[in-house]
Structures are given as structure tokens and as C-alpha cells.
Amino acid sequence: FPVVPEKEKEEMQFAKKYLENFYDFKEEKSSLLKRKNLNPMADKIREMQSFFGLEVTGELNHKTLAMMKQPRCGMPDIRS
């Protein structure tokens, strides 16, 4: 079911952990040498949505979150 607003932060943390575990998501540390990706998490969400055949939006929408909450294998879907 859709999330209520106060749960959004919690859901975002959950999604971040999911992407770290299964999509090799790493929070980018600021670096003067590297060009900044403004929204690395959106890129990883896109990658995950693409893998599962979801509509690729880069947004943590209902369907994407629902997919993340499914019981699953602990191996990553992609590797660096």
C-alpha cells in the first residue's frame, strides 16, 4: 500500500540499504577531483527498475518500493 508521509524517511533509508546490498550503491563522498553525480541514488533506482522491468523513473515510487520489499535472494543483482 502507498506510504504515509511520516514513513517516507524510513522508506528512503530502506531503499538506500537495498540499493547498497543489491545494486552496489555507494554514497558519493565529496571530491574536488571527481565530477559530482547529483543524484546517484536515482541512477541506482533506474538500474533496479530496469532490471525488474518496472517503469524506469528514477523515483522511489510505490511499485519500486513494493518490489524492494519482496522476499528475495541475498546475492546482488549487479556487481561492480
Partner 1 sequence: YSTFPLSPKWKKEDVTYRILNYTPDMLQADVEEAIAKAFQLWSSVTPLRFTRVYSGQADIMISFASGFHGDFYPFDGPGGTLAHAYPPGSNIGGDAHFDEDENWTKFTTYNGYSLFLVAAHELGHSLGLGHSNVLGALMYPIYMARDTRDYKLPQDDIDGIQALYGRPKEPPALPTKAFPPQEPTEMTPAEATTEMPPRKEPTETTPSKAPVRPQDCDPHLSFDAITTLRGETLFFKGSYVWRKSPYFSDIEHDTISSFWPSLVAGFDAAYEVDKRDRVLFFKDNHYWAVSGYSIEPGFPKPIQNLGFPTSVRKIDAAVHDENTKKTYFFVGNKYWSFNENTQSMERGYPRKIASDFHGIGHTVDAALQKNGLFYFFHGANQYEVDIKSKKLIRKMKSNSWFNC
What is the nearest approach in angstroms of partner 1 to the Cβ of residue 39? 22
Give the distance, in angstroms, between the CA of residue 5 and the centroid of all CA atoms in the same chain: 18
Q: Which helix (H) or strand (E) holds 67?
A: helix 62-68
**C-beta of 37 vs 78, nearer to partner 1:** 78
- Where on the chain is the footprint of partner 1 (CB under 8 A)? 1-4, 21-22, 51-55, 61-63, 66-67, 69-77, 79
Computed on alpha carbons and rounded to an integer, the radius of gyration of the chain in Å comes to: 13
**C-beta of 37 vs 50, nearer to partner 1:** 50
**C-beta of 36 vs 62, nearer to partner 1:** 62
Give the distance, in angstroms, between the CA of residue 68 and the centroid of all CA atoms in the same chain: 9
